[in-house]
Chains A and B, each alone.
Chain A
Amino acid sequence: MKLLVCVSKTPDTTTKIAFTDGGAQLDTNGVQYIMNPYDEWYALVRALELKEAAGGTVTIINVGPAANDQVIRKGLAIGADEAVRIDADPKSALYVAKQIAAYAQKENFDMVLLGKESIDYNGSEVGAMIAELLDQPFISYASKMEISGNTATISRDIEGGTEIVELDTPFVLSASKGLAEQRIPNMRGIMMAKRKPLKVEAAVEAPDMSTTVGFELPPAKSAVKLVDPEDMNELVRLLHEEAKVI
């Protein structure tokens, strides 16, 4: 099976977020970047498992600048066969989706896997857009996938339960927790990754259709109030009068 996994670069989960330019730009000073965990832990690892079980290739793709190469290399160290970076600023979800779809169109993949969302912009958009652009079905929030021949049986997380879907390749799938388990790359993988191809391709034309004009941080958290465990009435009063949740 020929598999394409989309990987994005996001700030580490412990990053303290700050903005510059009057709120228009993320302050990248001292920010540590990681591969979006939904991509790394679930989409990529499940793709590798499919390849290990039935043969095939796993290609990872990222839309971004050369500074993303380290994150891409990690994907190769975990086990992807090759990588493609579309050399462009990922300006918006539609822009990213158009780049990935254009590449996928050329290469005829059996499946495109992505994370259910990026943990920075939380758009949950790119997957659906790629599917639309490729005119393929899109299965979102997949927490389990079994393959037999060309047919996939996929469990999707839905509110309060699970939906089970069956469909044939090709399709686009977004991964949520449960689809696979994180793999830490080992030293051998890291060394092999050095020799695996990382192709850089030019972006296709795609107009900017939206611009970020600003970001706002959530209101600062107020101090924690400790309530004596014996004093239930005070707890109820606080929840009612101050937190206004009951």
Chain B
Amino acid sequence: MRGSEFLPNQIKNLMGQNNGVSASATNAKAAADRFQAHDYYNLDELLQEDHLLARDAVRSWVKQEVSPIIEDYANRAACPTHLFKGLAEIGAFGPSLPMEYGGGGMDEIAYGIIMQELERGDSGIRSMASVQGSLVMYPIYRFGSEEQRKKYLPKLGSGEFIGCFGLTEPDHGSNPNGMITNIKDDGDAYILNGSKMWITNSPLADVAVVWAKDEEGVVRGLIVEKDMPGFSAPEIHGKWSLRASITGELVFEDVRVPKANVLPNVHGLKGPLSCLSKARYGIAWGAIGAAMDCYDAALRYSKERVQFGKPIGQFQLTQKKLAEMITEITKAQLLAWRLGTLANEGKASPAQISMAKRNNVHMALEVAREARQIHGGMGITNEYPIMRHMMNLETVLTYEGTHDIHLLITGMDVTGLNAFK
């Protein structure tokens, strides 16, 4: 067959001529990434050339590097740490930060599309990139001094350093303002005490952006380095979700953090919240990727699986599921695209970002559940990506503001009445 060396791996597998990574992977079926994108409303026409190039590049990277290994890593609850370098090389860390600070100099839509393609692979892989880019590089870029930017950003952008973001505490999740982690002035340094919980990447991190209250009760941001005495980051085990992403605690016992490591240009909770807006924006796009993967698998399965003498896709109840899935995906794509356009103009409000995060993640979880049903018993196995996406999305529904907290943000925005007080 002419040109057959360029066929996707799964077709080569069927033809018995693949001797690349995937054929030797433990789970050959999981390695077969047959994903094809669905663009029901021709939204590609709204995208620029660089968006399409970015999308195709990250899609190829995910097919090559993530899909063949992800089921295995998720199964073992192991983090594919070698992907940090690859994510850096492809440019997934801070794509919309300026190039001179280790970013990609791209616009917000490109950033969104990159997150979509990464999460099409796995929400945990997208989380690795979201945290590094939006929760670590972004605050250092936005609130850091020029020395801090020069010291940390190029290394974070190139993947030489791994970063994490510590806001959530064991007793303060949805209510971060209640945090008890604190700093006390001690001459040229602050003494940091407290602990953080559920911190993505923390056991691997070289630097942690940590939010703590000063003696006046004002939230400040600090850059804590791995080897500072009194600082530890134990791993949290037993997660059924985001299993390929590593999560841990941050524990600070009288950690002396030089004053030069305090982010000078931010005071108060708006600091961490603006980082969260940046990351939530990426999640609004990312969730669409997970949904597209589930829909794509379900659509194909519905045409291949025969029951009662016909493909299950011919049954009206299956068609209803598929029709609703692609409708919801298309609506989410439109929401993300419009939000991206607003973000490019600097006009996307935190409440608008909150709405898209909540809607699109919830949509993705519903799509995953329906896709799971269409796959019948096969849907619960790791031969298909569905169950992994579904379990991952339970975290995505909760982190960066839970679904209900986002409902209250919209509620407050439209009524002007604060339900949190």
Complex Cα–Cα for A204 and B227 (A): 66
In the complex, whether A2 has a CB less than 8 A from a CB of chain B is: no
Asked whether, in the complex, the Cβ of B57 is within 8 Å of the Cβ of A190, the reply is yes
Main DSSP-derived SS at the B contact region = helix
Instruction: Report chain B residues within 8 Å CB of A69.
Output: 49
Beyond contacts A74-B56, A191-B106: 7 other A-B pairs, Cβ-Cβ < 8 A, are A14-B11, A37-B5, A70-B49, A122-B2, A185-B53, A186-B90, A194-B49
In chain B, positions 80-110 with a C-beta closer than 8 Å to chain A are: 89-92, 95, 99, 104-106, 110
In the complex, whether A82 has a CB less than 8 A from a CB of chain B is: no
Asked whether, in the complex, the Cβ of A187 is within 8 Å of the Cβ of B104, the reply is yes
Whole-angstrom distance between the Cβ of A8 and the nearest chain B Cβ: 13
Asked whether, in the complex, the Cβ of B52 is within 8 Å of the Cβ of A70, the reply is yes
**Contact residue among B3, B6, B53, B64 (Cβ-Cβ distance under 8 Å from A190):** B53
Number of A interface residues, CB 8 Å?
Answer: 22
Instruction: Report chain B residues within 8 Å CB of A13.
Output: 3, 6-8
- Nearest-CB residue, chain A, relative to B88: A186
Complex Cα–Cα for A117 and B3 (A): 9
Complex Cα–Cα for A186 and B99 (A): 13
In the complex, whether B192 has a CB less than 8 A from a CB of chain A is: no
In the complex, whether B36 has a CB less than 8 A from a CB of chain A is: yes
A residues whose Cβ falls under 8 Å from a Cβ of B: 13-14, 37, 41, 69-70, 73-74, 77, 117, 119, 122, 177, 184-188, 190-191, 193-194
Q: If A70-B52, A193-B53 touch, does A187 touch B110 (CB 8 Å cutoff)? A: yes
In the complex, whether B54 has a CB less than 8 A from a CB of chain A is: yes
In the complex, whether B75 has a CB less than 8 A from a CB of chain A is: no
In chain B, positions 1-54 with a C-beta closer than 8 Å to chain A are: 2-3, 5-8, 11, 36, 49-50, 52-54
Q: If A186-B57, A186-B89 touch, does A191 touch B105 (CB 8 Å cutoff)? A: yes
Asked whether, in the complex, the Cβ of A70 is within 8 Å of the Cβ of B6, the reply is no
- Nearest-CB residue, chain B, relative to A176: B5
Whole-angstrom distance between the Cβ of B156 and the nearest chain A Cβ: 15
Q: Give 14 CB contacts A-B under 8 Å.
A: A13-B6, A13-B7, A13-B8, A14-B8, A74-B53, A117-B2, A119-B2, A119-B6, A122-B3, A184-B60, A186-B90, A187-B104, A191-B104, A191-B105
Instruction: Report chain B residues within 8 Å CB of A37.
Output: 3, 5-6
Asked whether, in the complex, the Cβ of B36 is within 8 Å of the Cβ of A188, the reply is no
- Nearest-CB residue, chain B, relative to A119: B3
Asked whether, in the complex, the Cβ of B3 is within 8 Å of the Cβ of A184, the reply is no
Asked whether, in the complex, the Cβ of A14 is within 8 Å of the Cβ of B36, the reply is yes
Q: If A14-B8, A14-B36, A119-B6 touch, does A187 touch B91 (CB 8 Å cutoff)? A: yes
In the complex, whether B61 has a CB less than 8 A from a CB of chain A is: yes
**Contact residue among A41, A70, A177 (Cβ-Cβ distance under 8 Å from B53):** A70
Instruction: Report chain B residues within 8 Å CB of A193.
Output: 50, 53
Complex Cα–Cα for A204 and B54 (A): 34
Complex Cα–Cα for A193 and B110 (A): 15
In the complex, whether B275 has a CB less than 8 A from a CB of chain A is: no
Asked whether, in the complex, the Cβ of B54 is within 8 Å of the Cβ of A190, the reply is yes
Complex Cα–Cα for A185 and B92 (A): 12
In the complex, whether B368 has a CB less than 8 A from a CB of chain A is: no
- Nearest-CB residue, chain B, relative to A122: B2
Q: If A14-B7, A190-B54, A191-B99 touch, does A184 touch B90 (CB 8 Å cutoff)? A: yes
Indicate the member of B2, B6, B8, B95 with the most A CB atoms within 10 Å: B6
Whole-angstrom distance between the Cβ of A200 and the nearest chain B Cβ: 15
Instruction: Report chain B residues within 8 Å CB of A119.
Output: 2-3, 6
Instruction: Report chain B residues within 8 Å CB of A73.
Output: 49, 53
